[in-house]
Structures are given as structure tokens and as C-alpha cells.
Amino acid sequence: MGHPDIAGRRLSKDAYAKNFADLHPPLSAHEALVESDRCYFCYDAPCQQACPTSIDIPMFIRQIGAGNPLGAAETIFEQNILGGMCARVCPTETLCEEACVRETAEGKPVKIGLLQRYATDAQMRTGRQPFQRAPATGKSVAVVGAGPAGLACAHRLAMHGHDVTIFEARKKPGGLNEYGIAAYKSVDGFAQAEVDFVLGIGGITVERGKALGKQITLEGLRKEFDAVFLGMGLQGVNALNSKHEATDGVEDAVDYIAEIRQAKDLGKLKVGRNVLVIGGGMTAIDIAVQSKLLGAEDVTILYRRGAEQMKASGFEQQLAQTKGVKIKHWVSPRKVLAKDGKAIGLECEYTEEKKGKLGGTGETFRLKADMIFKAIGQTFVPDPMKDALVLDGGRIKVDASRRTSLPDVWAGGDCAAGGQDLTVAAVDDGCRAAESIHEFLSA
């Protein structure tokens, strides 16, 4: 194991463009008609039940089939104002499309995600919002975080006529839509275009570079506003519990993905020749695939359990494998191997499950690595709220309407307990909270 080989410009300019193009290209008008024709317009449709935002899927597909894509878009946006992003990033294979009766019948579900994209793209192209604000209520709500949860909440509140101020710590709004989602799922600046679309309803102000716990406090917001919604996502990263975690070349996957998403010139991003990824979720898949697309020669995901237990769906695992990523199951990292303070490899141990408990077998092996990515989950950092709220399993405790332990504070998305850590689930939380806040403010 020599010196680490970490470099940019591993590929030609064209290759970067090709690698990071749309994962699923949009349907043409003809394809959309043919696909819409496959939908049975099921009664009490299973696909709709499987959608966290309960989009009326049979209805919007029927509208596409009847040549009314804008009506279809409205049906989608009524339930999910981020329906455009969800069409791109939802793991449909474990949500609506898994539930589709044609999956049951033939193993070929209606391509709901792509149809949703077809309709929402049509609306976005018009540059218009399908909704109007209700007359102003004079009430004001603070939303912390401009991720999917915060944006969905703000939009619904604005629709009801409330004035909304979003406080966002970062420079750009969008949350993980802007900084986290794999680049090939959201191309051509879609995340920002969607933010503009959402804000187009009016009545929403975004304060950028304002972080709760720094420039603003929960107490202050509660005094100044009639209600508060927290949608801060997860800001912490789980530790590896392995020696030399802080060695050069050991990177946090989420941070690196944010760099990919913000890069103007992908060639400037340095990537290892041999890359190891530790983790088994969507983030692990995303960093592995994107490393490969950046030109890494060998990329291996190390996961401590089997394929079935991976949080990444079967489709995601397959995607990684078709891109040339290797997935090694039943292994866990023991020690980062370093030379001159730089990571050059990883010592791993095989794992097994005995009586439901995961443990090492004692057998170890070494893998060469120029870069090691940690993708072992993010954590909620409660510090900005200073113990004001009751937590549950490390995240904010909420009831069914996403209300926290404080009567005028709601929370949703990844920072709230009991969620699914998906964009669409964050949108649903934001919407539910908004309806509950609206009820509270109308009382």
C-alpha cells in the first residue's frame, strides 16, 4: 500500500456530463400517453395509499391520458407542492410502484414517478403557480429550515393566508434537495427552480444565513411569531468508532455529496482511485455511485449485514452494481490504515448474526483505499433549542399533527421522531403541521 492516489480530472469533460445526466430521462408525450393507458384507475387505489402524501395517482394519470397535463399537475401539487422533486427522488419501488396492482399482476408497475414528472414538468414550464393565497389573516409563522419539510409547510401556510418567514442557516434554500440528493436525480438546477416555484405563491420571506441557536433563538421566535415550525433536518454525523477516524482521506459522505452538488466544474473534485464506503443506506449508495461516476477505479460498499437489511432499496443496490460498484456484506471496519497521516486502507472484520445479535467473527482482512467515506447515518443536533423540547430517540417528539411538546411549536421532516427520512415524508410532515397550525391560528 503506497501513497494515496486522490485526483481530479480523471475523465474527459464529456464523460462528466454524460455520467451526471438525468438518471431516468423524462417521458416523451407519446410515452406518457402509452404509460397512462396502462393505469386501471383503481378504486381506493393501492398506489395512492402507499404515497406518504396521498397523491390522487389514478386521477392525475387519467388527466394525463385525457390530454390535460396541467390539470394532472394541479392534482399532484394539491397534495405535494414538491411533487416535481418527489417524482425524481422518491424510491417509488418501495412506495407507490411497489403497491401498483400491475406490479402484483405482471411485475411491471405503471411508471408513476415518471408520469408525475411529466405532469409537474409541464406546469413548471408555464412558470405559473396553480394556487392562489387566501385573503391575508394577519397571523405570522416562523419556519426554521428551508428543506422539503419547511418549504411544504410554508407553502401551505401561505395558501391559507398567513405570513411566513423562513430562517435558513445556509446560503441557498432547498435543504438536502439542494445539497444532498444525488446529482443525477436532480439535474439542471431543478432544486432552485422548484424553490422559486414554491415561493411563487407569495407571502413567504426567506432569511438566508440565519441559524437557530446563532442569529435567532426559539424563545425569540415564539415571542415574535404566532407559531413556529422546525424543519432543520439532521446536522450531526454518526461516529465510526474506529481508530484514526480523523485521518486525512476519511470523509463524511454527506459533506462530499454537498460539494458534488455545488461544484461548477466536476473535474475539480478530487476522488480516490480506490474508494471504500461504509454504510448501507441511500447515502452510501449515492456516494459510491457518484465516486464511480467521478472516475474512481474501484468502489466498494462495506455493510455490516446482508442485502435484505440494507436500507437502500433493491433498486438502489442494483443501480450501484450496474454502475460498477461492489457491495460487500457482513463486514465491519476495525481500523483505518494510515501512512504519514493519510488513509491508505482499512482493516475489516467479518460479521455474523448469532441469536439476533451482530458480532465479529474474529477473522479480519485489509482493503486498499485512497478515500474512505462514512455513510453510517446522520443524527439530530438538539443544541439550538437548548432543552426546550421533549425528544424521542434523539429527535424531536411530535404527535400525529406534528406538534411538539410546546403548544405553539411544530416540527417535521428528518428532525422529528418517527419519520421515514425521505423527501416525500418531509413534505407530508410539513403539510400536516401547516394544517394543524392553521387550525390553531383560526381558533
Partner 1 sequence: MADLRTNFVGIKSPNPFWLASAPPTDKEYNVVRAFKAGWGGVVWKTLGEDPHVVNVNGPRYGAIHSGDRRLLGLNNIELITDRPLQTNLDEIKRVKREWSDRAMVVSLMVPCEETNWANILKRVEETDCDGVELNFGCPHGMSERGMGSAVGQVPEYIEMVARWCKANTRMPVIVKLTPNITDIRKPARAAKQGGADAVSLINTINSIMSINLDSFAPEPTIDGKGTHGGYCGPAVKPIALSMVSEIARDKETQGMPISGIGGITNWRDALEFILIGAGTAQVCTAAMTYGFKIVQEMTSGLEQWMDERGFSHLDELIGKAVPNVTDWQYLNLNYIAKAHIDQDKCIQCGRCYAACEDTSHQAISNAPKNGKRHFEVIDEECVACNLCVEVCPVESCITMVQMTKGTDPRTGRKIDKKYANWTTHPNNPAAKVAAE
Ligand X SMILES: Cc1cc2nc3c(=O)[nH]c(=O)nc-3n(C[C@H](O)[C@H](O)[C@H](O)COP(=O)(O)OP(=O)(O)OC[C@H]3O[C@@H](n4cnc5c(N)ncnc54)[C@H](O)[C@@H]3O)c2cc1C
Binding site for ligand SF4 (CB under 6 A): 39-42, 45-47, 57-58, 61, 100-102, 110, 112
CA distance to 10, 161, 300, per residue, from 328 (Å) = 25, 52, 7
Residue 57: which of ligand X, ligand SF4, partner 1, none does it interact with, CB under 5 to 8 A by kind?
ligand SF4
Per DSSP bridges, beta strands 298-302 and 274-278 are parallel
**How many Å apart are CA 264 and CA 367, to the nearest integer?**
32
CA torsion angle for 325, 330, 336, 339 (degrees, to 10)? -60
Per DSSP bridges, beta strands 331-339 and 236-237 are unpaired
Determine the number of helices (DSSP H) and then strands (DSSP E) in the chain: 17, 19
Which of 180, 249, 295, 382 is the binder for ligand X (CB under 6 A)? 180
Residue 301: which of ligand X, ligand SF4, partner 1, none does it interact with, CB under 5 to 8 A by kind?
none
Q: Which is nearer to ligand X, 79 or 423 (CB)?
A: 423
Check: CB of residue 140 under 8 Å from CB of residue 162.
yes
Using rule CB under 8 A, residue 127 touches partner 1: no
Q: Which is nearer to ligand X, 122 or 254 (CB)?
A: 254
Residues 204-223 that bind partner 1 (CB under 8 A): none
Give min distance, CB of 271 to ligand X, in A. 16
Using rule CB under 6 A, residue 121 touches ligand X: no
Which of 37, 196, 255, 399 is the binder for partner 1 (CB under 8 A)? 37
Nearest to 124 by CA among 181, 85, 166: 85
In Å, how far from its chain's centre is CA 124?
A: 21
Q: Which is nearer to partner 1, 122 or 337 (CB)?
A: 122
Amino acid symbol at 333? P
Using rule CB under 6 A, residue 82 touches ligand X: no
Per DSSP bridges, beta strands 371-374 and 250-252 are parallel
Using rule CB under 8 A, residue 131 touches partner 1: no
Q: Which is nearer to partner 1, 67 or 189 (CB)?
A: 67
Using rule CB under 8 A, residue 101 touches partner 1: no
Using rule CB under 6 A, residue 51 touches ligand X: no
Q: Which is nearer to ligand SF4, 11 or 33 (CB)?
A: 33
Which of 10, 35, 57, 71 is the binder for partner 1 (CB under 8 A)? 71
Quick one: 214 exposed, middle or buried, by C-beta within 10 A (0-12, 13-18, 19+)? exposed
Using rule CB under 6 A, residue 413 touches ligand X: yes
Q: Which is nearer to ligand SF4, 54 or 309 (CB)?
A: 54
Check: CB of residue 267 under 8 Å from CB of residue 403.
no
Helix-strand-coil percent breakdown of the chain, rounded to 5? Answer: 40, 20, 40
Using rule CB under 6 A, residue 191 touches ligand X: no
Using rule CB under 6 A, residue 298 touches ligand X: no
- Beta-carbon contacts of 220 under 8 Å, excluding residues fewer than 6 positions away, are none
Residues at the contact surface with partner 1, assessed by CB under 8 A: 29-30, 37-38, 41, 43, 58-59, 62-63, 65-68, 70-71, 74-75
